[in-house]
Amino acid sequence: MGEEGELAAEKHVRYIVTAEKKKDSFEWLVMEHLRASGAYWGLTTLDLLHKLHAVDAAEVVDWIMSCYHPESGGFGGNVGHDPHVLYTLSAVQVLCLFDRLDVLDADKIADYITGLQNEDGSFSGDIWGEVDTRFSYISICTLSLLHRLHKINVDKAVEYIVSCKNLDGGFGAMPGGESHAGQIFCCVGALAITGSLHHIDRDLLGWWLCERQCRDGGLNGRPEKLADVCYSWWVLSSLIIIDRVHWIDKEKLAKFILNCQDKENGGISDRPDNAVDIYHTYFGVAGLSLMEYPGVKPMDPAYALPLDVVNRIFLTKQQ
The answer to whether 244 and 235 are in contact (CB under 8 A) is no
User: How many other β-carbons are positioned within 10 Å of the β-carbon of residue 203?
Assistant: 12
DSSP string, 263-279: TTT--B-SSTTSPPBHH
Task: Tell whether 1 is covered by a domain.
Answer: no
Q: Cα separation of 105 and 122, whole Å?
A: 24
> Structurally, how many domains does the chain consist of?
1
Q: How far apart are the first and last CA of the chain?
A: 42
> Tens of pLDDT along 176-223?
999 999 999 999 999 999 999 999 999 999 999 999 999 999 999 999
User: How many other β-carbons are positioned within 10 Å of the β-carbon of residue 100?
Assistant: 16
pLDDT of 191: 98
Q: Cα separation of 34 and 89, whole Å?
A: 12
Task: Tell whether 319 is covered by a domain.
Answer: no
Q: Cα separation of 173 and 49, whole Å?
A: 32
Task: Tell whether 4 is covered by a domain.
Answer: no
The answer to whether 168 and 211 are in contact (CB under 8 A) is no
pLDDT of 2: 36
Instruction: Using alpha carbons, list the distances in angstroms from residue 193 to 12, 159, 268.
Output: 31, 14, 29
Burial 238-272 (b: 16+ CB within 10 A, else e): bbbbbebbeebebeebbbbbbbbbbeeebbbbbbe
Task: Tell whether 2 is covered by a domain.
Answer: no
What is the reported pTM? 0.94
* Structural domain span for residue 158: 9-314
User: Is the model's pLDDT at 146 over the cut of 80?
Assistant: yes
Say how far residue 134 (Cα) sits from the centre of its chain.
10
The answer to whether 49 and 285 are in contact (CB under 8 A) is yes
> Tens of pLDDT along 32-63?
667 889 999 999 999 999 999 999 999 999 99
CA dihedral 238, 283, 177, 171 (to 10 degrees): 0
Task: Tell whether 3 is covered by a domain.
Answer: no
User: Is the model's pLDDT at 29 over the cut of 80?
Assistant: no
Q: Cα separation of 190 and 300, whole Å?
A: 13
Q: Work out the pLDDT band at 1, boundaries 50, 70, 90.
A: very low
Q: Cα separation of 232 and 182, whole Å?
A: 11
Closest CA to 105 of 150, 74, 76: 74
Average pLDDT for the chain: 93
Task: Tell whether 79 is covered by a domain.
Answer: yes
CATH code, domain with 43: 1.50.10.20
> Tens of pLDDT along 117-143?
999 999 999 988 899 999 999 999 999
